Amino acid sequence: MAELPSSKLQSKAKTTLRGVDLDGHDLPPSPAPSSPHSGRRYALATELVYTEGSDQYNSSSVPIYQSATFRGGPGQEYDYTRSGNPTRTHLERHLAKIMNAQRALAVSSGMGALDVITRLLRPGDEVITGDDLYGGTNRLLKFLSTNSGIIVHHIDTTSLSAVASVLSSKTTMVLLETPTNPLIKIVDISTIATMAHDASPSAIVCVDNTMLSPLLLNPLDLGADIVFESGTKYLSGHHDLMAGVIAVNDPSLSEKLYFTINASGCGLSPFDSWLLLRGIKTLAVRMEKQQRNAMIVAQFLESHGFEVRYPGLKSHPQYDLHHSMARGAGAVLSFSTGSVALSERIVESARLWAISVSFGCVNSLISMPCRMSHASIDEATRKERGLQEDIIRLCVGIEDPEDLVDDLRQALVRAGAVRVTVDGTAALGAGNGGESVDVQETRGGDELVNGESEGNEKGSES
Ligand code: PLP
């Protein structure tokens, strides 16, 4: 690059430094913000990859400001990374745009995001939430009810009458997840948001949108006040970082949330902000492929007599409700086998499907939630909430769908959930009430040993 004379360099620095963005931030020369509400709006898949840039070197990727401090006097945009960092700001503006929010905030994990949100609560406040929640959410709420005097009502939020029966003028927060996990039940966000605001105008309706991501659902457009997500999942997509994001439209609410982030120091690090920004750009291609694969896997299992929970299937009892809110079914499904031992054998027999907690990654994962992601909910509570111990959760990745189905088929065969007959193979398992149903020939059909599983190749995680 040709060198500029120093007088020109100085005047260039002055002009770039003087730039005030749409939100009034006097930003340093780079990176430029991605402005949430300016100019033309493109389709979401385009907006995901499109970020405005006026970096002094026209860098295609936002620079990582790996700096704790910024020199200068009072009143400058950045002084200390706990309070703000240009790379994080860039990510937050991009998030605000794709989440249809006025402001987004990025923190160190999904649970960090919920921690920031629940610090809006005071002793005596009442929270209404679901009975099929992510285990970590359940654990944090339990901590708050035990130690901070917060009253938590766990109810079936898929039942409007159950919600109505606990809503009152004392309700401070309604915390929803849809689809629920692992029972994959659908929650009517719009109706509950209206009911909550009618009963208690200052109530905050908060939605955990981790399962669907902004590609498939915008809870703020459905009446929610706060949406948060674990960025560890679909937003980043590769299980290589932990992050949490929060999005709101109300400026006073955003200030309170920002205050806690600055006070507690849980803002996302510059490097992870950069990594998350990179992941977000491929959200559409990943999620579209993952849901196509999920549908193929769900149909395979359903056609073999298993009770499958997936909102892409017409058999899902809340199919219409889900599709009235969301732009797709997502890529997490669960099914029951009727036997914990059988489920364990299936999970252990999978080769391609990795035994792992979490979801949203490009590779496919298999787990038993009651043993892993939801193990922090005690057994009695799990039973009370209808969380069957034998549930298998599948989080579908971007692999070749035939390979995924084939691996699942061999796992079912090896586990003894299906058996080979002289005419081909047939399923015989607790999941289909012991009835025989036809299944396709397995690619590695010779692995079947009269329905017995052949050892555990993987250690189990808890
Ligand atoms: N919400 C849901 C639905 C989750 O599944 C998870 C994690 O699995 C979280 C929140 C917490 O996110 P993190 O693990 O990034 O703290």
Q: For 328-344, how does the pLDDT look when each residue is reduced to its tens digit (9 = 90+)?
A: 999 999 999 999 999 99
Q: Quick one: pLDDT band at residue 233, thresholds 50, 70, 90? A: very high
Residue-wise pLDDT tens digits, 164-187? 999 999 999 999 999 998 999 999
Place of tokens 């005419």: 423
Q: Quick one: pLDDT band at residue 60, thresholds 50, 70, 90? A: confident
Residue-wise pLDDT tens digits, 411-446? 999 999 986 665 555 555 544 443 333 334 333 332
Centre of ligand 1 from the C-alpha of residue 374, in Å: 11
Omega prior to 123 cis, within 30 of 0: no
103-107/418-421 β-pairing: unpaired
Q: Evaluate the CA torsion angle 114, 118, 119, 120 in order and state its sign.
A: positive
332-336/307-309 β-pairing: antiparallel
Q: Quick one: pLDDT band at residue 52, thresholds 50, 70, 90? A: confident
Residue type, 342: L
- DSSP 3-state assignment of 448? coil
- How does DSSP classify residue 287? H
Q: Of all residues in the chain, what percent carry a pLDDT higher than 90?
A: 69
pLDDT at 442: 37
Mean pLDDT of the chain: 85
Q: What is the mean pLDDT of residues 138-150?
A: 97
In whole angstroms, give the CA distance from residue 52 to residue 449.
59
Q: Of all residues in the chain, what percent carry a pLDDT higher than 70?
A: 81
Number of Cβ within 10 Å of residue 386's Cβ equals 11
Active site residue 198: no
Q: What is the mean pLDDT of residues 242-271?
A: 96
pLDDT at 317 over 60: yes
Centre of ligand 1 from the C-alpha of residue 212, in Å: 12
Residues of 212-245 as b/e, b for ≥16 C-beta within 10 angstroms? bbbbbbbbbebbbbbbbbbbbbbbbbebebbbbb
Q: Quick one: pLDDT band at residue 17, thresholds 50, 70, 90? A: very low
Centre of ligand 1 from the C-alpha of residue 421, in Å: 43
Instruction: Determine the residue of 133, 134, 176, 367 to mutate for testing ligand 1's pocket, defined as the one with the most ligand atoms within 8 A of the Cβ atom.
Output: 134
In whole angstroms, give the CA distance from residue 303 to residue 290.
20
Q: What is the mean pLDDT of residues 360-374?
A: 91
Kindly give, in sequence order, each residue whose CB lies less than 8 Å from that of residue 35, ignoring residues fewer than 6 positions away: 21, 22, 52, 93, 97
Residue type, 95: L
pLDDT at 433: 40
Q: Considering only CA atoms, which residue is closest to atom 12 of ligand 1?
A: 110
Give the Å distances, CA to CA, from 1 to 31, 119, 199: 20, 50, 63
Omega prior to 179 cis, within 30 of 0: yes
Centre of ligand 1 from the C-alpha of residue 305, in Å: 31
Q: Considering only CA atoms, which residue is closest to atom 13 of ligand 1?
A: 110
pLDDT at 441: 37
pLDDT at 424: 52
Centre of ligand 1 from the C-alpha of residue 111, in Å: 6
- How does DSSP classify residue 388? -
Q: What is the mean pLDDT of residues 1-18?
A: 36
DSSP string for residues in 144-173: HHHHS--EEEEE-TT-HHHHHHH--TTEEE
Q: Give the rounded distance of the alpha carbon of 413 from its chain centre.
A: 32
Q: Quick one: pLDDT band at residue 12, thresholds 50, 70, 90? A: very low
Q: Considering only CA atoms, which residue is closest to atom 15 of ligand 1?
A: 110
Which of 21, 55, 82, 289 does the annotation list as catalytic?
82
Instruction: Tell me the whole-structure pTM to 2 decimals.
Output: 0.86
Q: What is the mean pLDDT of residues 214-239?
A: 98
Q: Evaluate the CA torsion angle 76, 81, 87, 92 in order and state its sign.
A: negative
Active site residue 82: yes
Q: Quick one: pLDDT band at residue 365, thresholds 50, 70, 90? A: very high
Ligand 1: which atom is nearest the Cα of residue 244?
15
Q: Quick one: pLDDT band at residue 9, thresholds 50, 70, 90? A: very low
Instruction: Determine the residue of 117, 230, 359, 373 to mutate for testing ligand 1's pocket, defined as the one with the most ligand atoms within 8 A of the Cβ atom.
Output: 230
Which of 134, 234, 258, 310 does the annotation list as catalytic?
134
Q: Which of 41-45, 332-336, 450-454 has the lowest mean pLDDT?
A: 450-454
Centre of ligand 1 from the C-alpha of residue 454, in Å: 33
Place of tokens 């992050």: 243
Ligand 1: which atom is nearest the Cα of residue 112?
16
Centre of ligand 1 from the C-alpha of residue 179, in Å: 13
Ligand 1: which atom is nearest the Cα of residue 231?
15
Active site residue 233: yes
pLDDT at 374: 79
pLDDT at 451 over 60: no
Domain span(s) for CATH 3.90.1150.10 in the chain: 284-447
Tokens standing for residue 392: 């298998």
Residue-wise pLDDT tens digits, 270-308? 999 999 999 999 999 999 999 999 999 999 999 988 999
Q: Quick one: pLDDT band at residue 19, thresholds 50, 70, 90? A: very low
Which of 233, 309, 393, 414 does the annotation list as catalytic?
233
Name residues contacting ligand 1 (CB within 6 A): 109-111, 134, 136-137, 177, 181, 208, 210-211, 230, 232, 242, 244, 358
Domain span(s) for CATH 3.40.640.10 in the chain: 89-281
pLDDT at 227 over 60: yes
418-421/151-155 β-pairing: unpaired
In whole angstroms, give the CA distance from residue 330 to residue 320.
15
- How does DSSP classify residue 288? H
Q: Which of 46-50, 101-105, 420-424 has the lowest mean pLDDT?
A: 420-424
Q: Evaluate the CA torsion angle 236, 375, 175, 288 in order and state its sign.
A: positive
Kindly give, in sequence order, each residue whose CB lies less than 8 Å from that of residue 221, ignoring residues fewer than 6 positions away: 100
Give the Å distances, CA to CA, from 310 to 185, 299, 392: 9, 9, 12
Ligand 1: which atom is nearest the Cα of residue 233?
15
- The domain at 284-447 falls in which architecture? Alpha-Beta Complex (3.90)
In whole angstroms, give the CA distance from residue 65 to residue 273.
10
Ligand 1: which atom is nearest the Cα of residue 181?
3
Residue type, 361: C
Active site residue 132: no
The fold for domain 89-281 equals: Aspartate Aminotransferase; domain 2 (3.40.640)
